[in-house]
Structure 1
Amino acid sequence: MELLETLKASSPVFPNDLSRIIFVKKEDSIEKGFKVLIDNNILAAPVYDEKEKRYVSFFSMVDLIYEILDIVERESLPKGDISSVMTMLNDKNLFCKQRITDIANISKREPFIIVNAEKRLDEVARLMSKNKIHRVAVLDSRGELCNVISLSRIIECASQLFGIDNQLTKIGEKTISELNLGRNEVITISSDKRALDAFKTIAELGISGIGVLDSGGHLCGVISDHDLNVIKSHCQYLSLLYLPICEYLDAMKKLTNSPKHVITCTYNETFKEVTQRIAENKIHRIFIVNEENKLKGVISLLDILEQIVWAQKLHEN
């Protein structure tokens, strides 16, 4: 993508939503770190080691899922807002781990990669595609954190450039089928299982979301790590984990402003249409269905990025 070749990793095109660089400290409590993610509506933040004076990893929602699952295997979660729940769990000594350093990147989901502020964004995109990572930390010449480039923000930017960027416009005209996207195995779960079981699958497989199928095999919902953001304002969330997924999805629709239906596409739609739909709905994957709403495939943000990077390589050759 031509735009990425003209911008550096320090570019303000890719800040977080508040245009502030958010991070947590290695010795912070899990509760404090989680509150940082929730208050800033982000899925992960760099972890700073004050003793070594460097950034060492990312702390993410998936890390929290691991910790919650560890607890619910042993004890039923109490009701209440996140602060009171954390307090009660601490009082009962249910937390095996206390600090961010104890659980940061516990899922080993992806490597922690740092890039220099002067690195071109097209090079960063290739690095992310090659290592299959969702974010990189950007440091300036003093070693200070100056940016965090997330995969979702790159895709959001790309979605605005169809018709402007020549490389992107060409690939945008091709269909999902022509690009052979969405052919990998799709991870799903039945709607009669518990929401807790869905999060266990997410944690065990190191994925960000899972499709939900009804008794007829039709796609009826999605459960993702982003659901945990609901904890911020809805105190009953933790108890929702014990509900059947069908009831959990109904509750989530009432509690959030998320789409009331699953965002899908077909193999006949263009890359441009699918990329823009992902960006507009701020989702991290889109499921491919047939005319009967039967699930056929899934396209991730990394799949979208790979196509953008591939278009760049073809242009260079």
Structure 2
Amino acid sequence: MSLNLLTSIAVDELPPKLEEMVTVKNTDSIPTVFKTLSKHGILSVPVLNEQNRPIGLVDYVDIVNCVVQIINHTDLLGNDYYSFLEREDLFNHTYASYVTDLSQRNPFIPVVKGASLLEAITIMTKNKINRVPVIDNNLNGDGAAIVNLITQSAILSYIGKNIESLGKWALKPIKELGFKEKKVISIDFNKRALDAFELMASHRVNGVAVNDEKGHIIANISARDLKELLNETRVFENLYLSVGEFISKVRQQDYKAVNPSISCHMNDSLASIITRMVAAKIHRVYIIDEERKPIGVISIHDILNKILEHINNLTIKPMQ
């Protein structure tokens, strides 16, 4: 049963278990935060103050918001990216304390070590957040310390490996489970990558669909794509490439080579979509029609919310 699946494991037991919690200081510069995220292959990192107490989280979407703000505020929106690149001081003097939850997507709402996975999912869905810090109040006697960071991706991976626990319910088509068509935030492949990141910033999302000239979905561009360019000597010059060129450079493949994992149909089962997302390590799939045009999107948040709704229905029915 899905309820046992989520109540039988504590948040601090969810793989991958961290040997050491990665953090940054509130006085660290944006380049330092950027390098920390990329070095450890993570999408978010807790920020600590001078007393080593957590004050919040920073992720790639926050950095995207910072980049967009700096470009807008310095009137460097044209093709004058060379002068923009020469202004490294703008980033070196922007600190983690400023960028913390700049996107307003990562409020610091922790769970205590030993809490169930169900509690973490409930907090995520209720507050519409992508990750929950796990704190230990007894560590070193110096107050609460972060011992883990539970992400939606890690939870979905755990569910995917135990997909049979969701039972026949998960084998139903997503249309039957109540997933509906909704407006998809998208961008044309020939627009600038910078335009795509501005779109993410304005809508407070971490990814948008990429369409070809016929409106067919051909790719997805996300905030975490920035990390692949860290080793470039002129990282932000790539923001002025077209979306198609940017994706090709970041992923070292032709953007026209459509990844079937990023799309699904209304008749696909929830179980098949979860399995596909876990295997491809993606955060969303786009619902497409028969002409391959996007008519909706399903995020990990949507899936967890639907599972929680299903569990609540199971617990209410026996009481009626």
> TM-score band (shorter)?
0.7 to 0.9
Hey, what does 1:179 align to over in structure 2? 177
Partner deviation per Cα, 1:221-242 (whole Å, 9 max, x = no partner): 2110110111233445422211
Show the 5 A alignment for 1:40-119: 40-51=40-51, 53-73=52-72, 74=74, 75=76, 76-78=80-82, 88-90=86-88, 93-95=89-91, 97-119=93-115
Structure whose residues are more often helix by fraction: 2
Kept in 2: contact 1:182–1:288 (CA 8 A)? no
Kept in 1: contact 2:21–2:148 (CA 8 A)? yes
Larger mean Cα displacement after TM superposition, 264-273 or 187-196: 187-196
Structure 1-normalised TM-score? 0.87
Partner deviation per Cα, 1:104-135 (whole Å, 9 max, x = no partner): 11121232111111222111111111111100
Kept in 2: contact 1:186–1:297 (CA 8 A)? yes
* Partner secondary structure for residue 138 of structure 1: strand
Q: CA offset at residue 96 of structure 1?
A: 8.5
**One-letter code of the match for 1:280?**
A
Q: Within the alignment, does 1:158 sit opposite 2:159 as a pair?
A: yes
Kept in 2: contact 1:159–1:276 (CA 8 A)? yes
**One-letter code of the match for 2:7?**
E
**One-letter code of the match for 2:26?**
K
Alignment: residue pair count: 301
Hey, what does 1:9 align to over in structure 2? 11
Q: CA offset at residue 276 of structure 1?
A: 0.6
Hey, what does 2:141 align to over in structure 1? none
Aligned-pair identity (%): 31
Partner deviation per Cα, 1:71-127 (whole Å, 9 max, x = no partner): 333344459xxxxx6xx534xx43494221121111212321111112221111111
**One-letter code of the match for 1:299?**
I
Q: CA offset at residue 10 of structure 1?
A: 1.7
Kept in 2: contact 1:175–1:269 (CA 8 A)? yes
Tell me which of the two structures has the higher relative contact order, counting C-alpha pairs closer than 8 angstroms and 6 or more residues apart: 1
Hey, what does 1:241 align to over in structure 2? 239
* Partner secondary structure for residue 134 of structure 2: strand
Hey, what does 1:270 align to over in structure 2? 269
Distance 1:280-1:256 versus aligned 2 partners, 3 A rule: farther
**One-letter code of the match for 2:116?**
R
CA distance, structure 1, for counterparts of residue 147 and residue 301 of structure 2: 24
Q: Within the alignment, does 1:127 sit opposite 2:123 as a pair?
A: yes
CA distance, structure 2, for counterparts of residue 12 and residue 212 of structure 1: 33
* Partner secondary structure for residue 218 of structure 2: strand
Structure 2-normalised TM-score? 0.87
**One-letter code of the match for 1:145?**
I
Structure 2: tracts of 5 or more residues without a match: 139-143
CA distance, structure 2, for counterparts of residue 127 and residue 14 of structure 1: 20
CA distance, structure 2, for counterparts of residue 13 and residue 5 of structure 1: 15
Kept in 2: contact 1:195–1:245 (CA 8 A)? yes
Distance 1:212-1:249 versus aligned 2 partners, 3 A rule: same
**One-letter code of the match for 2:277?**
I
* Partner secondary structure for residue 10 of structure 1: helix
**One-letter code of the match for 2:146?**
L
Distance 1:41-1:96 versus aligned 2 partners, 3 A rule: closer
Structure 1: tracts of 5 or more residues without a match: 80-84
